[in-house]
Structure 1
Amino acid sequence: MYRHLLVPIDGTDLATETVSNAVEFARTLGARITFFHAQPNHAAAFGGEAEIVRLTSPADFAYAYQGRARELLAKAESAARALGVPCDSSTAVSDSPYRAIIAAAQDAGCDLIYMASHGRRSSIGMMLGSQTLKVLVNAGMPVLVAATSSPPATSQAIGIIRDEHRSLAAVLHAWLHLLESDGSPAEGSRDELMRAMVHYIKAFPVALHHPKEEDYLFRKLRERTSQCNAELDELERQHERDLQLVDELAKAVDRHAAGEVDLATVKEAVSRYALFIWEHMGREEGVILPAAQRYLTPADWDEINAAFSENSDPRFGRDTDAEFKRLFSRIVNLAPSPAKQ
């Protein structure tokens, strides 16, 4: 049976579903995963769109053409860790994605390539994009093509919720590794990065993600059934507890920067918060999302999906997503890469 999967991922909306399916597949096999992302060779296209973006908006260029790869891989790794699946990741710059995918699988010693296709239906009844078909023809090893195409609102909304969970998990993994790494940055640089992590947690999961869950997902589920009320009550209490724990994190970071506490105190606070959050997200994904799939209507999912995908709540501005994407990218790219499992 297969023991090592290569899972190519891209920046499309289907990537979250692909990663979820691949991780579950690997878990059932007892296999490990190497996630892989092929980046276009923007340097070879001087004068093209990438160069225009680099010159006119350096921040957008850094996110879209440099930091995006680490973000995608960090969130994929978090999904694997959540189910206890050993994982690794790699990236390569290539104008031929299928060749890069095959080379990555060979270099990592994989025995199966697990990938999705975003193309049209072929005469043999499979959804085959051009790169997927080239991998199938040239890989020289088994290739499993996952059936993912135009997911309904239910899948899109659940995918966004899981993706936001993975973003937070990736930040926490990066933070823990930052505190454990022998090659950690100087004190001032580390304190600055930890403050950025606190800001991300306060402004995204606490101020944005939790309210969306309560106002849309939790509310709709309460309207359809009372079976989950006790669980929802506990999760909302945990949202309030989250505020307290993040305040404790912020104080620990500030006190360390002032020389009042050692790094071990910060690490203890981060570890305590990480355990709390991983249990909380596990309860939401293991209990609430399955219940929502049973009880909510298509109209409910349309409303939930619109809220999560567009930040339609008037409390949040239009630039919210871009701000958090840049901050997340900065964190995962500046923090030391987690040790491979």
Structure 2
Amino acid sequence: MYKHILIPIDESALSMRVIERGVELARAFGARASFLYLQPDAQDIIDGDAGLLHAMAPALFARKYLWADGYVEAKARAWAQMNGVEADFIGGVSRGKVHEEIVATAAARAADLVVIGSHGRTTRLQKLLDSVTVKLILNSPLPVFVAETGVAPQTARDRLIARFREEHAAWVALTDRLVDALAADEPRIDAALMDDTLDFLARFSSEAHGPKEARLLAALEAGGAAAGLATIEAQHDEEPRRFAELQAAWRRRGDAGIAPARAAAMAWQDFIVAHVRDENRLLLLRADDALSEAGWARLGQEIDGTERPAQREARDDEFRRLFARFRAGEA
């Protein structure tokens, strides 16, 4: 029915859910997807509320404005890749009315459906009619599908599944950047950036994502719902060996050259994409069916007890800084 879906996105938490819904639709229709990210104009940032944010909280300003484009692009591409959807990314600076820019981009790219979210900041009619989503609905010659609203996930189930999926996208996205960087001519490869990326991936798996997966599997086993998940468990056992091979190949580049490191990185990429795809389609779906809301709440308490919001924020900032460095190297 639809062949090309345009998905406008931004750096908000809502955007990740819009990416998921848009990719689900593209996969269902056998369509390709184009993600559109419009960065605010620099002068608008300086003149607007962001100027105060820059003065009062430079780190938060950087997270929201300076590191956003590479981070958003990587997550979108990774989610499409995990779901077997052909996708591209369109980045630009917003210089006019956003809904008109979305319509113009859809026409230029021959898209036949727009999938967008609504932040739902207010219920006042006059403010609602000022929103990009409603203006797009009223003015777009193409069908517009409002995939999500800005209501944050309320249940423990929604919150945890969103966190797992976000981390899956981040994991694949950073791995993709690593593989792309290693494909460059050897003199152009930033060795320090490679070292930092490998270090981050190792800590991400062992300290952040891995323990969450282990707790989720334990919750399913306790409820007698872990049957048929042997593939996931085998992948967990295999993951450290696969990553150690990548680290070793990178360390040996001085003697063996860069080719073995490239091959090991691509093998790691294939493994991680398959692993997170299985987790999304097997592990999370099984947990969704098997765990009660009370079970999700207990799992959330266990996870929150070992990973505080400040830790997640620091890891997210480090992740975004790595993407900013990759983006700077492409310039």
**Please, which of 166, 189, 192 is the counterpart of residue 163 of structure 1?**
166
Aligned to 1:22: 22
Give the Å deviation of 1:105: 1.9
CA deviation map 1:233-272 (0-9, x unaligned): x53453343223323322322222xx12211110121122
Query: Relative to structure 2, which stretch is displaced further, 114-123 or 148-157?
Result: 114-123
Number of corresponding residues: 323
SS at match of 1:140: coil
Which residue identity is paired with 1:103? A
Deviation at 1:44, TM superposition (A): 2.5
1:179 aligns with 2:182: yes
More moved, 194-203 vs 327-336:
327-336
> Which letter maps to 1:10?
D
Cross-structure match for 1:304? 299
Does structure 2 retain, via aligned residues, the 8 Å contact 1:174–1:336? Answer: no
Q: Retained in 1: the 8 A contact 2:17–2:148? A: no
The offset of 1:90, in angstroms, is 1.6
Note the residue ranges of structure 2 that are not aligned, 5 or more in a row.
none
How much is the aligned-residue C-alpha RMSD, in angstroms? 2.9
1:323 maps to what in 2? Answer: 314
Instruction: Call closer, same or farther: CA 1:84–1:238 in 2, change over 3 Å.
Output: closer
Structure 1 CA distance for aligned equivalents of residues 300 and 42 of structure 2: 33
Q: Aligned equivalents of 1:128 and 1:208: distance in 2?
A: 41
Q: 1:190-209, aligned counterparts within 5 Å?
A: 191-209=191-209
Query: What amino acid is the match of 1:220?
Result: A
After TM superposition, the structure 1 stretch with the greater mean CA deviation from structure 2, 141-150 or 106-115, is 141-150
CA distance in 2 between counterparts of 1:328 and 1:129 reads: 34
Aligned to 2:249: 252
1:221 corresponds to which residue?
220
Matches within 5 A, 1:270-289: 270-289=265-284
SS in structure 2 of the partner of residue 312 of structure 1: helix
The CA distance in 1 between the partners of 2:304 and 2:10, in whole Å, is 26
Equivalent residue runs for 1:16-95 within 5 Å = 16-46=16-46, 48-55=48-55, 58-94=58-94
Counterparts in 2 of 1:177 and 1:244: CA distance versus 1, 3 Å: same
State the alpha-carbon separation in 2 of the partners of residues 100 and 264 from structure 1: 43
The 1:26–1:45 alpha-carbon spacing in structure 2 relative to 1, beyond 3 Å, is closer
Name the structure 1 match of 2:134. 133
**What TM-score, normalized by structure 1, do the two folds share?**
0.83
Q: Distance in 1 between matches of 2:326 and 2:81?
A: 18
